[in-house]
């Protein structure tokens, strides 16, 4: 009888997963939740089939893990089918150990070992190896597909290398390359290792490049654009100006950008100006009102998920002292995107319920 238990457990788990996918309507959207990790990163995708993929796990200390699991509780998510780590900086992988203790994670994806001699989170590589040894682990490369039913999830950057064989709709000369001159970004080599993804659901396309740096973007996008255009740009590197070149942003021509910034991290004026001047852009949604961007570059309040006391940021524009620890405000609000296979998608600010639908335009 003891020998039957593993078989029964596997059958039960398969049946539960099959039941979950069967309970979703045939026309279920692709769901994307951009979770507030105070300038870190944690973005959840739920495919129309019900499979889940979380990109990154936020900061250490429990605050961001609590926020992630609170959202999971709200939407009824019981496990993470795939967890993709873009790179090994603390604001992206700091919450992994606690998250893996509190919810099952079936599959880990990353770019391979870190290239930095000194880890931002000491001992992470050894601890991570122990964690993924208990599950499935995949090192991804440009051109790889992540196996999620109903989605075409393609890796376009990883391990310092970028996609060269074009995706469908890509391969044309990228005129905005002329606007982007190389920059020296050698202080954080691990950022340049970031795993970048293009996610396609029918006629809807999104791009997420983690913290890929400016010069790596030029490697990817110049002289030809292998991506083509997208509907949703999950803003690179929290909206810092060491990423987000014209070659990338103007090249992929997003209709909507969602910026995973903090009040004092990201939202750089130069980065915001490049996004706002991108042809065809309709709106920028932000996780936080940015003290860096100021009045001129921040989006209107309805597009901002988390704000300080309005009297404080409107009157003083100072905010908390630079370098001060984030207070961990409660609740922390996310931005939600529901995308249809037709290419039409709706973005919702979970702080105020404000939604805007972007109807697919004729080509």
CATH architecture of 26-358: 4-Layer Sandwich (3.60)
Measure the CA dihedral 263/34/230/289, to 10°: -20
State residue 23's pLDDT score.
Answer: 56
> If you write DSSP's letter for every residue of 174-222 in order, what string do you get?
-GGGGG-------S-TTGGG--EEEEEETTEEEEE-TT--HHHHHHHHS
State the Cα–Cα distance between residues 338 and 347, nearest whole angstrom: 7
State residue 189's pLDDT score.
Answer: 87
CB-CB contact of 346 with 338 (8 Å): yes
pLDDT along the chain (363 residues), means of 10: 34 39 69 96 97 98 97 97 98 98 98 94 97 98 96 98 96 96 79 97 98 96 98 97 97 98 95 98 97 93 85 43 48 95 98 96 74
pLDDT digits (tens, 9 = 90+) for 9-49: 333 333 344 344 445 666 799 999 999 999 999 999 999 99
Structure tokens at 242: 């060491």
pLDDT digits (tens, 9 = 90+) for 306-323: 997 554 444 434 444 444
Structural domain boundaries in the chain: 26-358
State residue 5's pLDDT score.
Answer: 34
**CB burial string 124-147: b at 16+ within 10 A, e below:** beeebeebbeeeeeeebebbbebe
Structure tokens at 337: 């995107």
Backbone angle region of 75, left / alpha / beta, with phi > 0 → left and psi within -120 to 50 → alpha: alpha
């Amino acid at each position: 009888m003891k020998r039957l238990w593993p078989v029964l457990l596997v059958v039960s788990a398969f049946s539960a997963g099959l039941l979950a996918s069967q309970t979703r309507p045939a026309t279920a959207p692709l769901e994307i939740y951009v979770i507030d990790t105070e300038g870190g990163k944690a973005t959840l995708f739920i495919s129309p089939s019900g499979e889940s993929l979380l990109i990154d796990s936020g900061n250490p200390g429990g605050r961001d893990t609590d926020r992630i699991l609170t959202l999971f509780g709200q939407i009824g998510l019981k496990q993470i089918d795939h967890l993709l780590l873009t790179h090994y900086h603390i604001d992206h992988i700091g919450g992994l150990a606690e998250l893996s203790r509190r919810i099952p994670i079936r599959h880990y994806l990353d770019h391979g070992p870190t290239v930095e001699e000194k880890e931002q989170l000491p001992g992470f590589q050894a601890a991570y190896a122990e964690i993924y040894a208990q599950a499935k682990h995949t090192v991804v490369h440009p051109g790889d597909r992540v196996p999620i039913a109903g989605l075409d999830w393609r890796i376009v950057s990883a391990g310092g290398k970028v996609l060269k064989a074009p995706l469908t709709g890509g391969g044309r000369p990228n005129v905005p390359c002329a606007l982007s001159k190389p920059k020296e970004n050698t202080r954080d080599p691990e950022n340049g290792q970031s795993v970048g993804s293009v996610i396609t659901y029918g006629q809807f396309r999104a791009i997420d490049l983690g913290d890929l740096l400016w010069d790596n973007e030029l490697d990817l996008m110049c002289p030809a654009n292998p991506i083509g255009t997208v509907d949703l740009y999950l803003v690179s590197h929290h909206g810092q100006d060491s990423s987000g070149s014209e070659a990338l942003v103007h090249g992929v021509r997003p209709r909507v950008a969602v910026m995973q910034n903090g009040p004092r991290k990201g939202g750089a004026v130069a980065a915001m100006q490049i996004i706002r001047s991108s042809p065809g852009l309709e709106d920028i949604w932000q996780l936080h009102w940015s003290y860096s961007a100021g009045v001129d570059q921040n989006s209107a309040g309805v597009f901002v998920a988390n704000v300080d006391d309005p009297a404080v940021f409107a009157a003083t524009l100072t905010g908390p002292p630079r370098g001060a620890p984030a207070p961990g405000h409660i609740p922390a609000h996310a931005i939600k995107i529901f995308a249809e296979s037709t290419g039409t998608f709706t973005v919702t600010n979970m702080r105020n319920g404000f939604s805007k639908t972007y109807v697919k335009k004729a080509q």
